[in-house]
Chain A
Amino acid sequence: QSVLTQPPSASGTPGQRVTISCSGSSSNIGSNYVYWYQQLPGTAPKLLIYRNNQRPSGVPDRFSGSKSGTSASLAISGLRSEDETDYYCATWDDSLSGPVFGGGTKLTVL
């Protein structure tokens, strides 16, 4: 069981807006920044969102992040077929003294 809880799957049609949730606790999301990673099959994860809502250079503004209390969300607007892959949230956990990941969400573009 992952410390951070994500839905195992999400879906949307091209052009639609989808959100992926990430639920944690006061020792992790509640007190630390949240990061989102995108992982294409057979490749290393790619940093998508850092410090809750910041995008690294090169990440399209279709991707956005937010955090409220002990939960965070990744939103993808203008859904495209190439967005169909796995997404993970991550943060530091003060109680565990280490980073923790969500279980991952597989996004399907219908």
Chain B
Amino acid sequence: EVQLVESGGGLVKPGGSLRLSCAASGFTFSSYSMNWVRQAPGKGLEWVSSISSGSSYIYYADSVKGRFTISRDNAKNSLLLQMNSLRAEDTAVYFCARADTAMVTSVFWEKWGQGTLVTVSS
């Protein structure tokens, strides 16, 4: 069974850092591109970042570019999101999602984690 489990969320002060993880199991992790999507409280879905299967292609939303870094460890079946210089507007539930191919341009995201809450507040 395919499983994606996010962790690392919590309360952090503005300007602080947090590192999110997404542990994958039940499939060949290295064959699929992966994504982070967030949802602020009471708001819609917002794409954050995507990484291709071999990490050759990486994309960021303008809202996080220069502050967030996506990476993956295919040996450990793990997706990471390093978040620096956090702002109040980064407060959201962060989901990891698996695409259907190695290509990062696919928005066929059939598998999702349950999400982890990040709260940025003083």
Chain B 77-95 residues near chain A, CB threshold 8 A: 95
Which residues of the other chain, A, contact B1 by a CB distance below 8 angstroms? none
Which residues of the other chain, A, contact B109 by a CB distance below 8 angstroms? 35, 37, 45, 47
User: Interface size for chain A: under 10, 10 to 19, 20 to 34, or 35 or more residues?
Assistant: 20 to 34
Residue in A33, A47, A51, A98 whose beta carbon sits within 8 Å of that of B59 in the complex: A98
Which residues of the other chain, A, contact B46 by a CB distance below 8 angstroms? 101
**CB atoms of A98 and B44 under 8 A apart:** no
Chain A residue at minimum C-beta to C-beta distance from B60: A98
Q: Is A104 interfacial (CB 8 A cutoff)?
A: yes
**CB atoms of A39 and B114 under 8 A apart:** no
**CB atoms of A33 and B44 under 8 A apart:** no
Q: What's the minimum C-beta distance from A14 to chain B, rounded to whole angstroms?
A: 26
Q: Is A91 interfacial (CB 8 A cutoff)?
A: yes
Which residues of the other chain, A, contact B119 by a CB distance below 8 angstroms? none
Q: Is B53 interfacial (CB 8 A cutoff)?
A: no
